[in-house]
Chain A
Amino acid sequence: MSLAIQITLNGESRAIELDDPRITLLDLLRERLELTGTKKGCDRGQCGACTVLVDGRRVNACLTLAASLEGASVETIEGVADGPELHPVQQAFIDHDGFQCGFCTPGQIMSAIGLLREARVHGDPERVREQMSGNLCRCGAYAGIVEAVLDAERLTARESERGVA
């Protein structure tokens, strides 16, 4: 069995030789590709700190075997900003103080980006709370997180309108 995979990682095509079939996407990113922005909080899919986007959808990287990702597109927190220009969700997390310690933050932001791609929350904080509940924040920065997601939705909606016009 070959342990090589070809993936698109933050927009870049990568051929990756896996040294072990047990490697999760999370440990691949953190321990082998020097992408440590994605965090390990529980290693069993319960906290959401390792949330990344695979083919545009939110997944727990700790529950995803790297070997299963042949051909997949993976987006991590390191690939979100456009150079020095922060993604609207990143900026909104700063503006609304959507974090304290920051450890869950990369996962929260990837989850928020995924959420806004999956479906509009239509300015409804209850939808945000429900759909962001896979990402625990022990510091309790939830109020700021909800505000940040709502703000980012407003901003991205305006931008896409401008894009159409």
Chain B
Amino acid sequence: MSEFVPITAPARQRQQASIGQPVKRRDGVAKVTGAATYAADNHPKDMLHAVMAVATIANGRVRALDVAAAKAHPGVVEVMTPENRPALAKNPDDRDNPFMFRLDLLQSDRVRYANQPIAVVIAETFEAATEGAALLAPRYDVEPAQLDMHADSEAFVPEAVGPGAPAESHVGDIDAGLAQGSHRVDSTYETPAQYHNPMEPHAVVAAWEGDKLIVDTPSQAMTIARGRLAGLFGIDADDVLIRSPYLGGGFGCKGALMSPQVLGILAAKMVGRPVKLVPTRPQMYGPLGHRAPTSQTLRLGMDDAGKLTALSHHARTTSSMFDEFFEPSANISHTLYASLAISTTHDAVRVHTGTPMFMRGPGEASGSVALESAIDEAAHACGMDPLAFRLANYADVEPISGKPFSSKRLYDCYAQGAERFGWAKRVLAPRSMRDENGLLVGWGLGTATFPVIMFEAEARAIIRADGTGVMETGAQDMGQGAWTALAQIAADSLKLELDQTVFRAGTSDLPDGGVAGGSGHTATVGNAIDAAGRNAIARLIDMAVADTDSPLHGLAADQVEARWGRLQAVDDGARSEGYADILRRAGLRELEGHGRGRADADVGERYAMHAHGAVFAEVKVDPDLGQMRVTRMVGAFAAGRVINPRMVESQFFGGMIWGLGFALHEKAETDPRTGRIMNANLGEYHVPTNADVANIEALIVNEDDPHVNVLGIKGVGEIAVTGTAGAIANAVWHATSKRVRRFPIGVADMIAEPATAD
């Protein structure tokens, strides 16, 4: 044996952090092999299947259900109706906070919207439960449904819009500003009801073990859901275990626990066996939330230099007859464009639909398409290029509050996006560009923005005796890449390699992972993880410097740093030792650290915090047939620190494709006679398909924000929906000179006369 001791550093040492690396999805193999377990893939022993019967009227009462016929069907075990549904500890119509919603849990025979659950059939097989539900053949006392969002006599001003924003905001004198302008835009834009349509329905597999409840169901907010279930069933939150390792898409509709999920749990309680309940796709158009329709009126005044003198944005929206969520569309006008006066107002009408809900860019997406269309109309009224007009009205401070931005690289987004797209070659006049096949070509621009939102989350870090690490937090991955990006933060926080760090998430018995929503999950949980890792390292340093056998003994804690599995003296790299050595000498199997992530209220008082972006779109329109296609999109976004550019690009793509769907495809059609949605399926409610998305590019504009949070993360999940829909609408106008103000824009709009040539 040689006495030779290698003098090189450990082989794994490297200078590069995991944060910022385009790491491939760590859940990739599980997802491409079918091994990833979604809620409905669970099948506990003795499990029964439940199928909901839902209302085919929008207002009235259920007079009769043929329960006997359903129960007589072979395989049917039980039928749950308002008459026999197990008791709840809390009235489902009670609501304690803006993130809690009223539920339809068979509390009465009252029907408040079409597709409301009215009974649940539980059977040995899915086939028997489905047939049993059909055999219920409900009869109703039908009452007239109020469906008209333009019923002005019914309109009222909500106390709050979104999760608690004021319904009105004003700065400056809007009438004086409008009077001062030499140019004017006064336009009303209509956006339809849209449905989230995650590919995975809100499946639930529920199993009661005495008073303990185990629930497999997709949740964007397991801790909140756990509390909701504990309240409804009168049990301790610690006796509820929610498992949500993979969500098959969320987009806001899996934020709050929804009625069908609770009905599945009730069904399991009723029969004393595990139950699986999966809403059918048509049943997802009612009890699971939607983006409410809006009618938005924009009044803009501009002076001769093209500067805004007034920006007035009024939004009418709807909520259900029994609960509140008001799409805060007008508030998009608070942040983007400087104006002498700004006024944003909302009002609402109640209609017989399910309750609207947070849906990817709630308020921002619907508001953006109206604002960006109006800004484009304003640029045209001033005879200006749409980009030049936006630059002329660039906001150096947040217009509604006067606060400085914590960071804002929107100018670079415009510049880099325009360069990449080739915007300089745009011809100013509409209907003046054609391609080699004679198709009309239009180029449009929209500005993107989304606020920095943080919830609260906790994380637990563990350094193990072998020197590897574990990070635990009940985070939720709905496809945004939490399994990967949060693990990268975890590795860096513990100063370990990614493959030396075990990342545990996706169940409610872990530290509170907060909410996968508001584009704030990575920021919130990421900062909790970062704090937990740093806490663990600090404790390890304290142990080392106090240990007489450590080469670091006697150093002040701030004279020691962690570097990839080792602690070393800041000014003497030779004084170092591995994590495992420290724990071994102390006889410890592991060492814990704890961290919390949440918004710093003081920073929020001082700064306006938003992500920004610019989206450029090319649309080609057949001049004879009116067929439209988005042939090219370039988005450039500045959203603070990027943890994983591969995941972030994918989020931007997804958001832009949602914007495309907003502009050209998505609309729920309500039968005005019955209040039923006529296209409650994926064949007729059109979401973008692969063929709808041609050339798409997303540029990540570097942005260093020293204020938003320790890691400098803003959020990327929703911003790209904003800007995009407006950019496409503006491109359609530029191609055709037709300004369509009712979304989605369709072929009928292209062939309808007259063209608005001005």
Contacts and interface: CB of A to CB of B under 8 A. Distances in A.
Interface stretch (B8-16, B32-40, B207-215): B32-40
Interface stretch (B186-194, B315-323, B679-687): B679-687
Interface stretch (A1-9, A44-52, A116-124, A153-161): A44-52
Contact of A142 (B24, B33, B281, B690): B690
8 tightest Cβ-Cβ pairs between the two chains A and B? A37-B34, A103-B248, A100-B479, A101-B479, A140-B657, A102-B31, A140-B654, A36-B41
Interface string B175-211: 0000000000000000000000111110000000000
Given A94-B29, A94-B32, 8 more contacts: A23-B127, A41-B199, A41-B201, A94-B28, A103-B246, A103-B249, A128-B690, A129-B693
A124 to B, nearest CB: 12
B557 interface: no
Nearest to A98: B32
B733 to A, nearest CB: 24
Contacts of B40: 30, 36, 40
A90 B34 CA distance: 10
Interface of A: 19-20, 22-23, 27, 30-31, 34-44, 46-47, 49, 76-78, 80-81, 86, 90-91, 93-95, 97, 99-106, 109, 126, 128-130, 132-133, 135-146
Given A129-B690, A136-B682, A146-B690, A103 B32 contact: no
B631 to A, nearest CB: 11
A95 B693 contact: no
Given A40-B40, A100-B480, A138 B687 contact: yes
A43 B480 contact: no
A140 B246 CA distance: 17
Given A77-B34, A78-B34, A101 B249 contact: yes
Contacts of B29: 86, 94
Given A27-B126, A94-B32, A145 B682 contact: no
Contacts of B38: 39, 103
Contact of B125 (A20, A42, A139, A145): A20
Residue of A40, A77, A126 most packed against chain B (CB within 10 A): A40
A136 B246 contact: no
Contacts of B280: 43
A101 B516 CA distance: 13
Contact of B691 (A41, A102, A129, A138): A129
Given A102-B246, A142-B657, A136 B687 contact: yes
A43 B128 CA distance: 16
Given A100-B479, A133-B689, A105 B32 contact: yes
B649 to A, nearest CB: 8
Contact of B32 (A19, A22, A76, A93): A93
A19 B124 CA distance: 11
Contacts of A94: 24-25, 28-29, 32
A34 B654 CA distance: 32
B278 to A, nearest CB: 7
A140 B281 contact: no
Contact of B37 (A36, A46, A138): A36
B41 A137 contact: no
A44 to B, nearest CB: 7
A20 B123 CA distance: 13
A77 B41 CA distance: 14
A138 B199 contact: yes
